[in-house]
Amino acid sequence: MRVLGYDNDPINQNLLLDIFMDEGAGLIAHDSAKPHHVDPTLVGTPTWTNVSGLSVLNFDRTHPDYVRILLANCADINFTTQPFTISCWIYSTSNTWNTDFIMFGNGGDRGYELGKWTTGGIYLKVCGGTYKVTSPISLNVWHFIALTRITTNAWGYVDGIQQTLESDVPVSITISAADLAIGGAGSGGGYGGWLGMLYRPRIWSRALAPREINELFQRERGLFGV
């Protein structure tokens, strides 16, 4: 059930994608944000998992194994110079591989990808430039991840706290030519898919303020006991 006033919540201003994951079964994960993208489709073998009464998706890095929104249906998140924020709750079970959990394009020369290094840090890769959260996140623990970007500047957050961010050469994003893939590499190539669980990916067409990101974490941390 949605919280009363969802559309009037100031944090939801300019929210373009919000996959709430309250189905718990079946082949579709509905997008709750406006403008309500055509229903995302589960590709391959992501499995619905119950975590203390909450529906999440579990990915085993098999290819293909992801949630897909067709390129034609998500032009509003095909960013170039626009500001944006990406957030997601993640539960990582391995540092063996570099893994992506949100990919639009391949991050190397088109689009952007959000993932985790073998060192355990989070990254946002755009067209040859990579923004890296240097501190590793713990395995087998739920974390709230958020990255924001304005032009060529980026900020990374773990559990509502802004992190030290290293950067390669910051560059503008070239428009993606691939579908949006959540939880796996999908059709855009790049690193292998996610290994672990994932809940409620969201994308805004603005850079959330640090206080807003911390507020989101504080609101939702009780869902995972963190």
pLDDT, tens only, 183-222:
876 544 444 578 899 999 999 999 999 999 999 999 999 9
Per the structure, the complete domain to which residue 141 belongs is given by: 44-223
Query: Residue 188 has what pLDDT?
Result: 44
Greatest C-alpha distance within the chain: 43
When pLDDT is averaged across residues 110-136 and rounded to a whole number, the result is 84
Residue 116 counted as domain residue: yes
Residue 18 counted as domain residue: no
Residue 101 counted as domain residue: yes
Chain mean pLDDT for the chain: 86
User: How many domains are there within the chain?
Assistant: 1
CA dihedral 124, 168, 208, 201 (to 10 degrees): 0
The three state secondary structure string of the chain is CCCCCHHHCHHHCCEEEEECCCCCCCCECCECCCCCCCCCEEEECCEEEEECCEEEEEEECCCCEEEEECHHHCHHHCCCCCCEEEEEEEEECCCCCCEEEEEEECCCCCEEEEEECCCCCEEEEECCEEEEECCCCCCCCEEEEEEEEECCEEEEEECCEEECEEECCCCCCCCCCCCEEECCCHHHCCCCCCEEEEEEEEEECCCCCHHHHHHHHHHHHHHCCC
- Domain with residue 80: its CATH number is 2.60.120.200
53's tokens: 């009464």
Residue 75 counted as domain residue: yes
Query: Residue 196 has what pLDDT?
Result: 92
- The backbone region for 120, taken as left when phi is positive above 0, alpha when psi lies in -120 to 50, beta otherwise, is left
Q: Quote the percentage of the chain above a pLDDT of 90.
A: 38
Residue 11 counted as domain residue: no
Residue 19 counted as domain residue: no
Residue 21 counted as domain residue: no
Query: Residue 1 has what pLDDT?
Result: 44
Query: Residue 192 has what pLDDT?
Result: 58
Query: Residue 190 has what pLDDT?
Result: 44
Residue 35 counted as domain residue: no
pTM for the model: 0.92
